Amino acid sequence: MPEFKKPGPRPANEALTRPFWEAAQQHRFVVPQCVACDDFFWPPRAACPSCLREAWKWAEVSGRARLYSFTIVRQPANPAFLEGVPYVYALVDLEEGIRMVSNVVDCLLDDLQNEMSLVAMFEEMGDGWTLVKFRPARRQAR
Amino acid sequence: MEQIDSTIRGRTAIVGFAELPTQRTYPGRSTLSLFAEVARDAILDAGMRLAEIDGLITGDSTNSLLVAQTLGLTPRYTASMTLHGANGASAVATAAAAIAAGLATNVLCIFGESRPASSSRLNAEAVARDGGGPRTLASEWEAPYGPVIAANGGYGLMKQRHMFQYGTTQEQFAKCVVDERFNAVENANALWVGDLITIDDVLASRMTNDPLHLLEGVMPCSGANAAIVTSAERARTLPHPPVFILGVGGPVVTNDTMRTSHDITVSPTAIAAPLALAMAGYAPPDIEFVQFYDCYSIYVMMCIEDAGLCPKGEVGGFYQDTDTTYLGTFPINTDGGQIGGGQPTGAGGFRHVVEAARQIMRRGGSRQVPKADLCLVNGNGGIASVVTTLVLGSAATL
């Protein structure tokens, strides 16, 4: 058994975020949306940060996003990730107005650009976990 | 801006301090042993007796209850800061408020840690081997994506975005590192004393994560520092020129750098510094030198902008055109800061306060700046999450 292993998501509150990970397994991308004020928010938490109401639902999002900022990892904290270096650790802005940490994959490092269009994709990491990652959006025919 | 209440402006002062040298380890010595030494030295420096200390503020590495009972103190006012790098400036702010409100008269602010001989990389590996540490937002939403060591990821993201938005160059970031190292060379307490570097040295250091160079960060170290805050009246009777606390802003908490949609090139300093300056009755052009929290070059640089010391987005040109050493026109982190001096865990954010006091008391020795009456001090905690700004000044600035 290798000494280091890529960690799966380890939730602080498993009951709270289980629907997200179950949806990801089915290749559906859901995020919290407040029932009262309609705001999307991230990360999941007990109450909507816009109005502090606890009534929120999981809403499916388009997966369309822009690359806000990125850093190229050469020295990962967990050596299990060394096999993939260099890779892209990024802040991604969803069109629904929330931001999350993810990886940008299927993109040459030289082609990375702030504000480039991305789309969400799903990557199985074994152990039953599926991660939401992002890749460059295909140019749309006009 | 709303009207600022200046009730506590100039009501309190820093009257003494002590600092143990910043070094990788203190073999055979515990954190509380460092605290005993630095507390004794600071109290003596202030011209006080141990029994006169009736307030105690300390930080994350050791809570104030344990510190008080170990040092034999019986404070009537105590607080434990939990704001990491912002602890030092926040402690002074809290001490000033407590004294002005009559809750204490002589407050010891004390920080530090004796770390084991280890590196951030080995620590990260130990956590990984262990199964990944505590369950937090980061363990769920960041760890599966392969984050980098320590805070390099967040500050790398800030730097990348700053370069994109404003065209800031690698050479300009490197200049910040070079100037701080120049200052550290004159500081016997600094880790890098006597060891000058050039812009090319910074650019040649490896990328921990692009666009961040190794030399733009800090070396985790051991050390301790302390200062005594008292009333302005008492301060005038003590041996050293008082360093008056003229303005306080914060601790201000703003958006979560890793998780909230906002401009990550802007720090909480943008709120904290105007509050502190308004209380003090000064404007950015009045400030003669600054001691700003510097976990990475990007952070001290974006805070210089956010404090209004140069326009937003122009800090690259500012550094390029300005000698920010103790010999220069606008001195920044005259003791070398954390980039040049090392980051004593627990005490890293207090070295900026101590050096500001040292300079305003004209005790800077070979690195004394000629204009040392009015200083802005900035403390930061987390990933650009919380900032406290102080305006400190000599009697001439009251």
| DSSP letter for each residue of B314-374 | -HHHHHHH---STTSSS-BSTT-HHHHH-EETTTTTTHHHHHHHHHHTT--GGG--S--SE
Asked if B330 and B301 touch (Cβ cutoff 8 Å), the reply is no
In angstroms, the first-to-last Cα distance of chain A is 51
Cβ neighbours of B117 (radius 10 Å): 9
CATH-assigned architecture of domain A62-142: Beta Barrel (2.40)
Residues of chain B with C-beta less than 8 angstroms from the C-beta of A86: 210
What pLDDT shows up at residue B238?
Answer: 98
Domain spans of chain A, in order of start: 14-60, 62-142
Partner residue facing B132 (CB), from A7, A42, A76:
A7
Residues of chain B with C-beta less than 8 angstroms from the C-beta of A75: 121, 148-149, 152, 208-209
Domain spans of chain B, in order of start: 12-116+220-397
Residues of chain A with C-beta less than 8 angstroms from the C-beta of B145: 89, 101-103, 131, 133
State how far the Cα of B65 lies from the Cα of B327, in Å rounded to an integer: 42
Stretches where chain B sits below pLDDT 50 are: none
- Determine the average pLDDT of the residues in A11-15: 95
What pLDDT shows up at residue A137?
Answer: 97
State how far the Cα of A78 lies from the Cα of A75, in Å rounded to an integer: 8
Residues in chain A: 142
State how far the Cα of A125 lies from the Cα of A105, in Å rounded to an integer: 14
Provide the 8-state DSSP code for B23.
B
**Cβ distance of B139 and A7 shorter than 8 Å:** yes
Cβ pairs bridging A and B (under 8 Å): 139
Quick one: A51 exposed, middle or buried, by C-beta within 10 A (0-12, 13-18, 19+)?
A: middle
State how far the Cα of B160 lies from the Cα of A59, in Å rounded to an integer: 31
Partner residue facing A89 (CB), from B136, B141, B146:
B146
ipTM of the complex: 0.96
Q: Which residues of B touch A (CB under 8 A)?
A: 121, 124-125, 127-129, 131-132, 135-137, 139-150, 152-153, 156-158, 160-161, 164, 206-212, 258-261, 264
Residues of chain A with C-beta less than 8 angstroms from the C-beta of B161: 68-69, 114
Residue of B135, B141, B265 to mutate for A, most A C-beta atoms under 10 A:
B141
Residues of chain B with C-beta less than 8 angstroms from the C-beta of A17: 140
State how far the Cα of B193 lies from the Cα of B186, in Å rounded to an integer: 7
Our CA-based measurement puts residue A141 at a distance from the nearest CA of chain B, in whole angstroms, of 28
Strand partners for B79: B57
What pLDDT shows up at residue A140?
Answer: 53
**Cβ distance of B207 and A97 shorter than 8 Å:** no
The torsion defined by the Cα of B187, B189, B191 and B194, in degrees rounded to 10, comes to 30
Q: Which CATH superfamily is domain B12-116+220-397 in?
A: Thiolase/Chalcone synthase (3.40.47.10)
Quick one: A117 exposed, middle or buried, by C-beta within 10 A (0-12, 13-18, 19+)?
A: middle
Residue B11: closest CA among B139, B112, B131, B97: B97
Please, what's the b/e burial string for B250-270 (b: 16 or more CB within 10 A of its CB; e: otherwise)?
bbbbbbbbbbebeebbbbbbb
Residue of A4, A5, A10 to mutate for B, most B C-beta atoms under 10 A:
A10
State how far the Cα of B318 lies from the Cα of B366, in Å rounded to an integer: 25
Asked if B391 and B276 touch (Cβ cutoff 8 Å), the reply is yes
Strand partners for B230: B13, B106
User: For B121, which residue in chain A has the nearest alpha carbon?
Assistant: A77
Residue A25: closest CA among A1, A40, A39, A8: A8
User: For B261, which residue in chain A has the nearest alpha carbon?
Assistant: A99
Residue B79: closest CA among B101, B104, B100, B102: B104
pLDDT in tens, B2-57: 678 999 999 999 999 999 999 999 999 999 999 999 999 999 999 999 999 999 99
What pLDDT shows up at residue B4?
Answer: 84
Residue of B123, B148, B168 to mutate for A, most A C-beta atoms under 10 A:
B148
**Cβ distance of B259 and A100 shorter than 8 Å:** yes
Residues in chain B: 398
pLDDT in tens, A51-92: 999 999 999 999 999 999 999 999 999 999 999 999 999 999
What pLDDT shows up at residue A126?
Answer: 83
What pLDDT shows up at residue A142?
Answer: 47
**Cβ distance of A71 and B124 shorter than 8 Å:** no
| Predicted TM-score (pTM) of this structure | 0.96
What pLDDT shows up at residue A139?
Answer: 62
What average pLDDT does the structure give for chain A?
94
Torsion sign (Cα): B79, B80, B86, B89: positive
CA distances (Å), origin B363, targets B16, B28, B367, B377:
11, 31, 9, 17
